[in-house]
Amino acid sequence: MREVFVAGIGMTPFGRFPDTTIEALGRQAILAALEDAGIGQNDVEVAYAGHARTGRLHKRENGVGQLCCWSAGIREIPIAGVGNFCASGSTALRETWMAVGSGLYDVGLAIGVEQLSKRPEGGQPLTSDGMELEGELGFTPPAFFALAARRYMHTTGVDPAVLAQVAVKNRRHASLNPYAQYRSPITLGEVLGSPMVADPLTRLSCCPTSDGAAAAILVSREAAERLELDRLVRVLSSSLASGGYRGDDIAHLDLDHRAALAAYEMADVGPEDVDVAEVHDAFTICEIIHYEDLGFCPMWEGAAMVQSGDSSLGGRLPVSTSGGLLSRGHPLGATGIAQAHEVVTQLRGEAGERQVEGARIGLTHCVGGFVTSDAAASAVHILAAA
């Protein structure tokens, strides 16, 4: 694989925008990424679009990438849709990275887009067909991670207030992010006092449903030189793992650990080298578990990272500086590329009040879906200031 760089990033604010369209969201993100890179539509040679729920919510299983790209003036190139649960955007980013890294293309576009505010009446299950029985029995993401939280609390002795600190931290970070869905600070009492969803997870311990889009322009070194691009961030590695049959530890995801190890090996770095990270904090317990599975701390010591302030801005390893899924928002297919947007912004030194000083290496992590009793996909990207 040859060197691949992120040359441009763009995204919409995340929130609830039922009066717009999915192609309008995608167009806004694409045009912002093109402008950020300083290139035109005709420079893009290939595009991959991540979306997870569009088929069920908008009755359009295919063609979302074409809709968004054509709306932004990009036509007559290879465009493919990517559906991989919550890791759809991350997988689209990986596909673009492989397309450019292989030498087949020099300039690629990765886009993630979702519009969850236009859901049909009555809702639909988030589980796959292989999970039909478990879904009928209440095996939903909040229920699963509530079980994981109970297991974690039983093993470590921490209480719900410790988990709630993740929500408070990430809202504090989101207050500094103009793209975030929720920017008003919250207190520990507000998190614990919000309505219960799946004990011990309250409403403010769970990510919101969101609309939004994010895009990234990936280029080869040759294209960067030819197009005279600057402000580059190098993609050191990209890994993708799938699940299997779970072991006896419901509080950890083996596929996250495997994806992280593969990414570290490819990038020739370790978790101790990471300066800033965006992880899949769909629920408060998730962020704590991910600290451990990604190697940021020893097993069963993730809660201590939150309590000590290690994962806050100004700490040893700031995590979810964008506000994370909990506060920046989680428009499924857009999330993975939004994470890359934040890390690229940090590595460029352009994050303003939420800037991690001296950040040189950043990591993004996105996990999604359930098949049988395990998560379906986990993607990890490691990026470095060029």
Tokens matching residue 276: 């800033």
Count Cα neighbours of 35 within 13 Å in the Cβ-side half-sphere. 9
The answer to whether residues 379 and 87 touch, using CB atoms and an 8 Å cutoff, is yes
State how far the Cα of 75 lies from the Cα of 41, in Å rounded to an integer. 9
Residue 158's region, left for phi above 0, alpha for psi from -120 to 50, else beta, is beta
Q: Pick the catalytic residue from 51, 173, 252, 330.
A: 330
Q: Cβ of 59: how many Cβ atoms within 10 Å?
A: 8
Q: What is the largest CA-CA distance in the chain?
A: 58
- Alpha-helical runs (H) found in the chain: 22-37, 54-58, 64-71, 88-101, 132-136, 141-156, 160-174, 188-193, 221-226, 254-267, 284-293, 302-308, 324-327, 335-347
State how far the Cα of 386 lies from the Cα of 382, in Å rounded to an integer. 13
State how far the Cα of 34 lies from the Cα of 245, in Å rounded to an integer. 42
> Going by DSSP bridges, is the β-strand pair 107-115/211-220 parallel, antiparallel, or unpaired?
antiparallel
Helix (H) or strand (E) run with residue 385 in it: strand 374-385
* Beta-bridge mates of residue 216: 9, 110
DSSP state, residue 353: G
Helix (H) or strand (E) run with residue 18 in it: none
Q: Pick the catalytic residue from 86, 286, 297, 366.
A: 86
Assess whether 86 carries a catalytic annotation: yes
What is the secondary structure of 265-295 as a DSSP string?
HHHT--GGG--EEE---SBHHHHHHHHHHTT
Dihedral sign of CA atoms 77, 344, 84, 323 in order: negative
The structure tokens 């960067």 sit at 224
Assess whether 173 carries a catalytic annotation: no
Helix (H) or strand (E) run with residue 252 in it: none
State how far the Cα of 187 lies from the Cα of 168, in Å rounded to an integer. 6
User: Which residues are known catalytic residues?
Assistant: 86, 330
